[in-house]
Structure 1
Amino acid sequence: MKTGLKQRLVARALEEGFDACRLCRPWDVGHVPARLAAFLDAGRHGQMGWMEERAHWRGAPEVLWPEARTVIVLGESYTPEADPLAGLARRDRGNISVYARNRDYHDTVKKRLKRLARWLIDGAGGEVKVFVDTAPVPEKPLGQAAGLGWQGKHTNLVSRDLGSWFFIGSVFTTLELDTDTAEVDHCGSCRACLDVCPTDAFPAPYQLDARRCISYLTIEHKGPVDEDLRPGLGNRIYGCDDCLAVCPWNKFAVEAREVKYAARDDLLAPKLADLSVLDDAGFRARFSGSPIKRIGRDRFVRNVLYAIGNSGEPGLRAVAQGLCEDADAAVADAARWAVMRLDRDANGLA
């Protein structure tokens, strides 16, 4: 191994725009297969069949690419400028998860990863593969093994240096570089993330039931959402930040350096009435370049209608009524539910 390579790698990663760079071995996450199997056996992955289909890779990174000897785990801050939960009180507006309020982070992070990987190859040889949330890679356990952070009680990665607001990317390489010490748990007795969840998606600390998670329900879940869970969605129309936002470690969060992560004005608190009337072409145009685009118009408008039903705003009744016969069955169902909820509120019924 060339002298000082790891130090130069870390320095280069920071130059590329990352806020943290740590290293581990692909096989340093031996606890993942059993934990993943328990999650899948309990059916907590919901409709995410791809998790079960690729469990043999997701549980063991060394199986995904046997030649890899080191995993370089990178963190990049996307800390919001303002309280991400403030918008929950504006019931006639939609609340979008912080990470999706501008350009798709996958594209931005992957470009940085590729530049860093190319620099490494040019300087030290070897082979590389880059990943950012689109392959069966256990990024959060690898992040903990590398010392980037630890998986908190909400199962997300928390960092003493970055708080909760950071994207994770990784570079797998055949080079055998010096690794870092794994991070330990610093949650202590805190359970803020568990208590704030509107849909009780955490059966126990460090366990998540995706079937009750608002991020899963608004992004991954196809078809109608269980009626018992709809009120808990509030005005969250794409993702949920509650468990991240209340973490005390966010006092150490660093400001996002990438301007592409700053919220677009039209996605900060968009009017539900405007979003509900989007047809497929209008949806694609409005969310071009956004991660929201991947869920499609129907699922998105379904979410908007749930928010309308939770709004208590009688002025939105006509909007919902106009979609009761929508061509998409889930949208039509959501519209009828919204009308029923608004009528109930107007009549003062519990």
Structure 2
Amino acid sequence: MTGIFRIFGEGDDLYEAMIDSIRAASQRIVLASYILAGDEVGWALLNELMNQARRGLDVRIHIDAMGSGRVLTRSQSRLLTAAGVRLKRFHRWSWRQPMRYNRRDHRKLLVIDGETAYLGGFNIHREASRQVYGETRWRDLHVYITGPLAAEAEGLFNASWCGLTDWSPRRQPGSNDRIIPNTTRGCRILLRCTIKAQLARASESIWLESPYFIPDRGLRKQLILAAERGVDVRILTTRKTDSPPAQWAARGIYGDLLANGIRIFEFQPRLLHSKLLLIDEDWANIGTANFDYRSMFLNYELTLVSGNRTLNRQLKSEVLRDLQDCHEVTGEAWRDRAAINYLYDMLGRLLRRWL
């Protein structure tokens, strides 16, 4: 049995559902988040976690030391610990291992009693809340999961909690759905290999959403080859960004992609933060990984890979909704842009592996 899927596209709806699930927990709750802020949004959720820890439940939180370093204070961390919550920070700065700091825990995962899970692009912070942040809140996607996949997600959390960042669960026989990390003992670039293979077999459509669109040469080649054989390849990325250098790097390859028949759309009204790949409507991945060097080669990520047509139809509807708020980039307009932008493109290409 695969379980139930539900898509969340609004942060307020997601956080309300997460709090309801936390309140319903009976044994254990595990939470991983790249950004877990002690603001109005984050503290409401953390209060519920502390309440459950005081009741005797096993509550563990794994946050990224850099992503949450400035937004979850030491005093807030002490309150969590005093309530019985076990808190770990991933890859703190170390003078002995300075390069380790560059490898971040980018996962966003909540699992309740090993039975229900939430996974996707939403961090836990005010920027994702319409009630708090207003109409300019970030646009994102998250998926709610029940059944065996939730148990897989909990296993992946437990492995990372113990420092086993390259562990992965065995594939369930007969299932088209998996939760996979981006690196395992058998393959240090598992997610990239999985995506590359699916791009190569695409026959009708490849629709991709990513705020940081910086594919390596191999993935870029597969997108171009797909377009050349008549596949409808559409890239949705963001006009508004929190990382201008990453946007420079993305725009640095627009010309090549447009020249080869790939359509590029920039989401206009808000920052697009969702991470989604839909191929031929019968294969999709949704999770924490961007389509860039950092997610494919450096950071630690989690992705739901699914052949569930019901879920994939929902994801297609989300993409179609986003396309309504996009501006399509055309080759002619791109060639005629201001000269200074070419310098930004060049700088972005030089920095692309570090963004």
Fold conserved (TM > 0.5)?
no
TM-score, length-normalised on structure 2?
0.28
- TM-score of the superposition, structure 1-length normalised? 0.29
- With a CA cutoff of 8 Å and minimum separation of 6, indicate the structure with the bigger relative contact order: 1
